[in-house]
Every structure is written in structure tokens, then in C-alpha cells.
Amino acid sequence: MKNILYIFIILIVGSCSKSDPLGYIEAKPSIYFDLDESTYTNSISMSFSTTLDSYIIVNIPVKCTGIASDTDRKFKISVLNEESTTTSGIDFEPISSEYIFPKNSYNAVVPITLKKTPVLDSVTLKLTIKLEQNEDFSSGEKLRQKASVKFSNEIVKPVIWDKYNWYLKAWSKVKYILILQLTNRSTFPTQAEWNANYQYWQIVVPRALSGYLFDNYPVYDENGNIIQPW
């Protein structure tokens, strides 16, 4: 009798475990742009001044909450024309309204192809996109539902420059160009690239820049002021 009762209990527990092991029902995951987690930045700036290419591809990072799915999911975005100064097909390649969020991942990207046009010589354009709810994702953090890209032919101070001015010192366009030349890059590092190799950007690069300024003294900025070594 005891053996029969024991088997009966095992069957019940086993049945419950298959349908709902811990009694947990996950809430619908949310989604948000992740341009800079530490500062909640919702825009980035790009410039064609340091590249000969006729286009720049910008990958806007997206993250999700909850548990990573074992299947691909879809997320939806829209272009906010009322907050943009761009025209699809002219200033940027048409953007899809739906993208894939990869399985087993908490990260995805929205690739945006910016186009180099003569108007960028005199103005800075802005493109703003927004995440939309769908069957796979709800809205996430309110401050991270929109993302803007500002772009021109002019040299624009990167968002992270002020954050690391202890190492880079005062901003100047000439210093920016020198850093790109010394590091053989066409664009300034993103926050993620900086974090991944912070010793290089906080020690090696500033030391090389200061050495260049010392060896070629005086080096003048765009306003005619001498950029002092340190």
C-alpha cells in the first residue's frame, strides 16, 4: 500500500514539474535602446569628415529584459518624422519596420545606413527612431524608447569626450584628428570599444598624443591657440 501511495505522489509531482517546474510565469519582456547605460544618452553624433566613404553604417544597440529566448523573436521600430530632419532614401537608406532579436541573446542592433550628401557641408541632420510594442516585447524604460543619430560633414565632439577629459584634456577638432591619425582610425571609439580596451585609450593614446604635441611644438588648434603637451 505504501509503495502504491509513493508511486502516486511521484506521478503527481512529476506531472506538475513538466507543466510548471517552479510555478513561475515570466512577464512579457521589454525592450530598450542602449546607447550609453551609465548616462542614459539617447543620441549619438557621426561625421563624414574623417572618411572618404559615401555612407556610414551605424548599429544602434538594443537590449531586452527577462530571460533569453531559445527562439528568434521580432522587434518593431518606427521613424519619428516629426522629430527628424532627414528624408528616407535621400539622407539614409530606408529602414525596415521589423528586426530579429537573436535567440539565446540579450542584445540586438538596428543598422542604419547614413548617406553623404552636399547638404551636410552646412547643416547637421537628425534621424530619430522609436521602439514599438509587438507580440514579443512590451515597452521598456521610458527614457530609452527613442534613439537619435545626428550627422554632418563637420567634426563633432564625441559624447564620451567630456566623460574622459581627464585623459584627453580640453576638446579641439585638431586634437580629435590627431587621435584618429595616431590610432589609424576613421571614427572615435564607442563607449563599448573604450571599455573593452580602456588602458589603451586612457594611457597609451594620451601619452602618444602628448608626445606628438611635444615633438611638433607648437601645434595650433582650429582657433589659433597652441595645444599644450602634458
Domain count within the chain: 2
**Quick one: 147 and 179 in the same domain?**
no
Q: Output DSSP code: residue 26.
A: P
Considering the domain boundaries, does residue 18 fall inside one?
Answer: no
Considering the domain boundaries, does residue 12 fall inside one?
Answer: no
Written as tens digits, the pLDDT of the chain (230 aa) is 555 444 444 443 443 333 445 554 557 899 999 987 655 678 988 888 877 689 999 999 999 999 999 999 999 999 999 999 999 999 999 999 999 999 999 999 999 999 999 999 889 999 999 999 999 999 888 889 999 999 998 888 888 999 999 999 999 989 998 999 899 987 889 888 999 999 999 999 999 999 999 999 999 998 899 999 99
Q: Are 73 and 101 in contact (CB under 8 A)?
A: yes
Considering the domain boundaries, does residue 3 fall inside one?
Answer: no
- Residue 12 burial (CB count, 10 A): 10
**Quick one: 107 and 172 in the same domain?**
no
Considering the domain boundaries, does residue 190 fall inside one?
Answer: yes
**Quick one: 97 and 147 in the same domain?**
yes
Question: Rounded to whole angstroms, how far apart are CA atoms 56 and 189?
Answer: 15
What pTM was estimated for this model as a whole? 0.65
Considering the domain boundaries, does residue 93 fall inside one?
Answer: yes
Considering the domain boundaries, does residue 134 fall inside one?
Answer: yes
Q: Are 156 and 46 in contact (CB under 8 A)?
A: yes
**Quick one: 33 and 145 in the same domain?**
yes
Domain carrying residue 128 = 28-156
